[in-house]
Amino acid sequence: MNKQICLATNNKGKLREYREILAPMGFTIYSPADLNIDFDVDETGADYRENSLLKAKGLRKLVPFPVIADDSGLEILALDCFPGLHSSRFAESMGGYPKAYEEIFRRLEGKDRSARFRCCICYLENEDSKPLYFEGFCPGQILNAPHGTNGFGYDPIFHSEEADIDFGVASEETKNAVSHRAKALQKLKVFFAIG
């Protein structure tokens, strides 16, 4: 198996998380920036799988080795899994995360606050290979008000059931023990270990 992989992100936090798990297995994980590639893909897929595949295929054309791409979002159950696939775009459309939090609190008045983060990782060995998918979920509750500034995106309004902590005050290590991305990544790790 090729031990060099390019990860379809320029997010340093994600890159660190992937490297932490896969480097001990002998993998070298590059970002597009490491390879001087200017990488951007329109996330026009109908679900997380399609978006992760769009990113993986887009990147695989540009690099000489296998790629990993992921797509993730926050799903609020009482709002039919909103903002879901549009998590990032929703925050942008509101003029930033603090405004998005307010709008979510407004929509959730009197409703159940159960939610989950969700992540789908796509691994694509060659351009014409069958894509492989690995998914992870992180269940919790939407808080009544933002708490803390740790993490990113919707972390300040999310309480993790499994870690029993608000992500806005959780350390990276605590979050990575239960996060949707870490769980999907663990499944990928098992695939690499036995595959």
88 is an interface residue for ligand IMP by CB under 6 A: yes
**Closest distance to ligand IMP from the beta carbon of 147 (Å):** 13
Which sign, positive or negative, has the C-alpha torsion 161, 165, 169, 175?
negative
Nearer to ligand IMP, 5 or 91 (CB): 91
92 is an interface residue for ligand IMP by CB under 6 A: no
154 is an interface residue for ligand IMP by CB under 6 A: yes
Q: How many residues bind ligand IMP (CB under 6 A)?
A: 15
Backbone phi, then psi, for 170, in 5-degree steps? -85, 145
152 is an interface residue for ligand IMP by CB under 6 A: yes
Nearer to ligand IMP, 2 or 152 (CB): 152
Angle between helices 97-108 and 87-94 (to 10 degrees): 100
71 is an interface residue for ligand IMP by CB under 6 A: yes
Q: CA geometry: angle at 169 spanning 171 and 179, to 5°?
A: 55
Which tokens sit at 18? 């992937």
The answer to whether residue 112 is catalytic is no
Among 32, 56, 66, 87, binds ligand IMP (CB under 6 A): 87
Among 74, 121, 157, 184, binds ligand IMP (CB under 6 A): 74
160 is an interface residue for ligand IMP by CB under 6 A: no
Angle between helices 12-22 and 180-194 (to 10 degrees): 40
Q: Do the beta carbons of residue 16 and residue 7 sit within 8 Å?
A: no
153 is an interface residue for ligand IMP by CB under 6 A: yes
Among 21, 69, 134, 155, binds ligand IMP (CB under 6 A): 155
Contacts of residue 65, Cβ cutoff 8 Å, sequence gap at least 6: 2, 4, 5, 6
Q: What is the DSSP letter of 134?
A: E
182 is an interface residue for ligand IMP by CB under 6 A: no
Residue from 70, 71, 155, 166 carrying the catalytic annotation: 71
**DSSP 3-state assignment of 103?**
helix
Task: Give the residue nearest to ligand IMP (CB).
Answer: 153
Q: Do the beta carbons of residue 70 and residue 184 sit within 8 Å?
A: yes
Catalytically annotated residues: 71
